Structure 1
Amino acid sequence: MDPESIHTGERVPHGGEPDQRIRDFSANTNPNTPAGVSSVYEDALEESRRYPDDEYSAFRAAAAEFVGCEPDRVIPTSGGLAAIRLAMECALEPGETAVLPAPSFGEYAREVHLQGATPEFVAHDELLAVPEERLRKHSLAVVCTPNNPTGEAADPDALAAFAARCGESETTLLVDEAFLGFTDLPSAATLEAEHVIVARSLTKLFGLPGLRAGFAVASGQNRDDLETARRAWSLGTPAARVGTFCLRQDEFVRDTRERIERERERIREHLERRFAVSPSDAPYLLCAVDDRVGGAEMGAASDADDAVETLVESARAAGVAIRDATTFRGLDSHIRVAIKDRESNDRLLEALGCTRGRGTESTDTRGEIGGDGSSADGEAHE
């Protein structure tokens, strides 16, 4: 990390609602956790009287099986964002450049800046087409799949081709798969390319963002560098034990994927009657808001920026937190909403005014504020 860059850096906004009375659709976390997690955590807490085993053999084995790689390629980290920082610390030097998608996760640019490097932004849907000659000037390229906040996952063949061009240009490729576990798509860990680093988060798929558990996957010299540079005891005992347990809950993962896909399409149908909704493979939907939402319909605001603010405030007054997506680079009239369980999703539709007169099955819960227990991991990944 570059000391001079720290003085000029700043934190970025994230999703997440700390008020437990508010249903949190601003952070993209699973409202459910696997059965048995509490018991695993309690047993691990008792064992936390000693330092963790820094080898993390069981965790590495479970993570490797989950993404399809060898256990020795897994680098335990305290969340996906810790894996991203570790990768950038190893890949970037002050004065170098990195190519990043936009709009996308705001921490990429911040982490690049903290290394004393400079980000160059490419439209998220054009990044995989960047040619080799352009990649040559960059030390690092970042792909987010599914992209946050737009939601679309990278085509595996297109990603593999892009990874090959990164290899030819000697550019390290960091693939952030924070939300890939919500899909059936293969991990880039299966590419087994020495210049590719994968960052994974456990906490969103398994509904435990406060636990801070994740890992990186790398090969060759990158693997050795990450393993050497990672902090000692990079996972607490509870995070390591719970993470190992969760990664082996195949039925929970399968049920979660099916529910998310089903609910995402149901919610999309209702939201599209009021907003322009981006295609998504992720547990969230990006919605474009026009000035009619804030003005004619809500009696406030005369432009899209004010419309978003008005909509966020109106939803919160109805007991629902949604993400103001105008803080993402290039977005000036958008919100992002997470996909939760059916009852909570109906509450979201009601708060956004997408249920009245449409014959939905939404439960009438007006006048009360509820909480589904979801929490944020500070936009790691929002």
Structure 2
Amino acid sequence: MQRMGKMNLTDAERDKLLTATRSRTARVADVRRAKLILMLEEGQSRDTIMQRLECDSRFISRWSSRFLSERLAGMYARHPGRAPKQPPAKLEARVLNCTLRRKPSDGSTHWSSYKLSAELGDVSVSAVQRIWRKHNVRPQRLDRHMVSNDPDFETKAADVIGLYLNPPAHAVVFCVDEKTAIQALDRKDRMLPLSPGRAESHGFEYKRNGTLSLFAALNTATGQVLGKTAARHTSEQFVAFLTDIVASQCERQEIHVICDNVSSHKTQRVRDFLVQHGNVRMHFTPTYSSWLNQVENWFSRIERDVITRGVFTSVQDLGRKLMRYIREHNKNPKPIKWKYDDPSRRIRQVLIQ
């Protein structure tokens, strides 16, 4: 029975090796090497080590020598294997060039990792996925955008953003819009509730109980929302809602209203209202740029939280649930933190590309 020279360890090295042998998350290979060094320190024979670790003498010689020369760093270093067939930069360039500049030959609109691997022939699926992940390329994703054709886009956008970032002193800024034609849908089939291992389920069939429009005004400073439901969304209802906004503030309070370019916001009735209320000033977002209106962000929340999965037995039921959501929101409102301070920069980049 061949005995090996005893391995000398410092207390810190011994503690780290013991920790590795007890770890439930360490790599099996790392645990095996740690046990080897500890057994060598104990002076156990080569045959005993080979039997207990199920290894050969080359394993013992290799890792004992590496520990003596590199200590703990040598135990966990990831030593490279053979060199790749293609230089990494060249391989990445091939994958990205094909992904971004070519379409699949089968008529598909975009690449999958399997199709691109088959197209290139000598690149594995995992390599394609790794390169895409490194460069944040996601062919399966599709975003939609709308570029404004408003010739005064930058001027109007700067006006709106200026109200967010540097509002006038002693003035109130409201983002106003209406969410139209909200359907009061009632489900014909019984809803299956959420349970462990199963998502909430709604039947496909539904009953239409009419539609409702929701007018909302978001106070950009406080995050509070003024809301009102209406059966229609004409200029008459819009002016009535503006009147409610004015009534909610102190007399002669300077009010700035941000809204989009829908026709009901620019009628003679609205112009007459502005003449009668000199303390109210309207600011219009550029054409096709309602995303600049912060109330659209809040509309997406109420759509997600109440409307999409809601069950409404009537238009009145829909209205009650919308207004209840607004009341609960106003108990702990939070203003939106606007960060997109130069939209023209991104628009220019898109046009240049």
TM bucket by the smaller chain? under 0.3
Which of the two has greater helix per residue? 2
Query: Bigger radius of gyration, 1 or 2?
Result: 2
Higher relative contact order (CA 8 A, sep 6+): 1
